[in-house]
Amino acid sequence: MNFLWQEALWLLLLLPLLVLLYQWLMKRRKKTAVAWSSLAVVKEAMGNQRLWRRHVPPLLLLFALASLIVAGARPTAVLTLPLVEQTVILAMDVSGSMRATDVEPNRLVASQNAAKAFIAELPRSVRVGVVSFAGTAAIVQPPTLSREDVSAAIDRFQLQRATAIGSGLILSLAAIFPDAGIDLSQVTGAKVMPKALGDNSKPEKEFTPVEPGSYASAAIILLTDGQRTTGPDSMDAAKMAADRGVKVYTVGVGTKEGDTIGFEGWSMRVRLDEETLKQVASATRAEYFYAGNALDLKKVYQSLGTRLSAQKKETEISALFAGLGALLTLLAAGLSVWWFGRVA
């Protein structure tokens, strides 16, 4: 625990002086009592009161003063707190390689099931958006608090040709920063974007790059096999995210051995490109996860849910000590009135 105003702690040195003052007052009071004509009269006046009760309220008041002094020093502590106004964008690959069956029943269905399990575990205060990408990218669900709308959007996925990972990342950034004027013409194949993403016909606004991973209000989860075939370079898109402080957690779907898929008379071998996904995650100060089967993929999403729902932050806790001091003061006064009929 640290203090923003450490000088205030010097006031704690006054507490021993208050203890000495209290002892002096008690001795003086005792001498006055002895001066009475009879000690029996003193005992009768005291009734059944126990002597220890006289010391309890002053002791509580002493602790209250100590707590208030600590509160005045403005203590801080590192606490694990829920993130406020957080947005999670699921950028999901719907390219033809996702039909591979090296993850049962296939990569796409496994990723859909895991994604829906993930959003079900998130706090209700977290907005979730969904971006799908193949040869181009599309926002199939703008960030929303409705888990039902997100699940329905994930269920509507249809496989398409090619894989543009960079397009998926750039469109995800546009969903997080709808007023940034990010140029999406090369991402979506359209010159004008839906109003949900802001007016992207405007030139991109200037911004000052920030520390990678420093933007705590949003994150992107990229789920793909990592094999880019078209669109913007994946690392260029990752740099855009890093410059804006947005972490991109990458999830590799499939097996390292890969699988052979066929479609409309052609066939190709698809493998998991872990190296690219690791580089994307590293550039944005996030992490890469390997999901070799549906069970591993579900664990990955559960892990990300924990990471994205809380953060450690240094927070001022003066209010806690001030509240404790007020509570002890009220308790001391209450006991004094109850036992002795006065606040003293």
* Residue bearing the bigger pLDDT, 288 or 205: 288
Which residue's entry shows tokens 């040869």?
135
Structure tokens at 86: 């957080």
| Whether 120 and 106 share a structural domain | yes
213-to-91, 129, 263, 311 alpha-carbon distances in Å:
18, 19, 40, 13
Residue 310 within a domain: no
Compute CA distances 202 → 56, 177, 179, 198, 199, whole Å. Answer: 71, 14, 10, 9, 6
- Judgement on whether residues 121 and 224 belong to the same structural domain of the protein: yes
Do 230 and 327 share a domain, yes or no?
no
**How much of the chain exceeds pLDDT 90, in percent?**
33
Q: Evaluate whether residue 300 is within a structural domain.
A: no
Same domain, 147 and 262: yes
| Mean pLDDT of the 59-74 span | 90
Asked whether residue 202 is assigned to any structural domain, the reply reads yes
Minimal CA–CA distance to 257: which of 80, 32, 101? 101
Cα end-to-end span (Å), the chain: 35
Residue 223: inside a domain, yes or no? yes
For residue 277, give both structure tokens. Answer: 């996904």
Q: Residue 179 belongs to a domain with what CATH number?
A: 3.40.50.410
Half-sphere CA count of 261, side-chain side, radius 13 A: 18
Residues in the chain: 344
Cis peptide before 123 (omega within 30 of 0): no
Q: Would you state the pLDDT for residue 131? A: 96
φ, ψ of residue 165 to 5 degrees: the values are -65, -40
Measured at the CA of 54, the angle between CA 51 and CA 55, to 5 degrees, comes to 105
- State which residues form the domain around 283: 83-292
Query: What's the chain's Rg over C-alpha atoms?
Result: 32
Q: Note whether 168 and 75 are same-domain residues.
A: no
Same domain, residue pair 186 and 319 = no
Name the CA dihedral angle for 252, 255, 256, 260, rounded to a multiple of 10 degrees: -120
The DSSP call for residue 330 is H
Q: Does 264 map to a domain? A: yes
Q: Is the pLDDT of residue 181 over 60?
A: yes
Query: pLDDT digits over 224-258, tens only?
Result: 987 888 889 999 999 999 999 999 999 988 877 76
Judgement on whether residues 324 and 175 belong to the same structural domain of the protein: no
Least reliable range by pLDDT among 48-62, 126-140, 202-216: 48-62
- Considering only 79-93, 275-289, 295-309, which range has the smallest mean pLDDT? 295-309
Q: Measured between alpha carbons, how far is 279 from 165 in angstroms, rounded to an integer?
A: 13
What's the number of domains the chain is made of?
Answer: 2
Q: How far apart are CA 160 and CA 162, in angstroms?
A: 7
Evaluate whether residue 302 is within a structural domain.
no
- List pLDDT tens digits, range 283-316: 999 999 888 777 777 777 777 777 776 777 788 8
305, part of any domain = no
Higher pLDDT, 100 or 151: 151
Same domain, 59 and 131: no
Residues 330-344 have a mean pLDDT of: 79
Q: Are residues 141 and 225 in the same domain?
A: yes
My answer on whether 75 and 106 are in the same domain is: no
Whether residue 299 is contained in a domain is answered as no
The answer on 218 and 104 residing in a single domain is: yes
Percent of the chain with pLDDT over 70: 82
Examine the domain organization and report whether 24 and 99 are in the same domain. Answer: no
pLDDT band (50, 70, 90) for residue 338: confident
Mean pLDDT confidence for 180-207 = 60
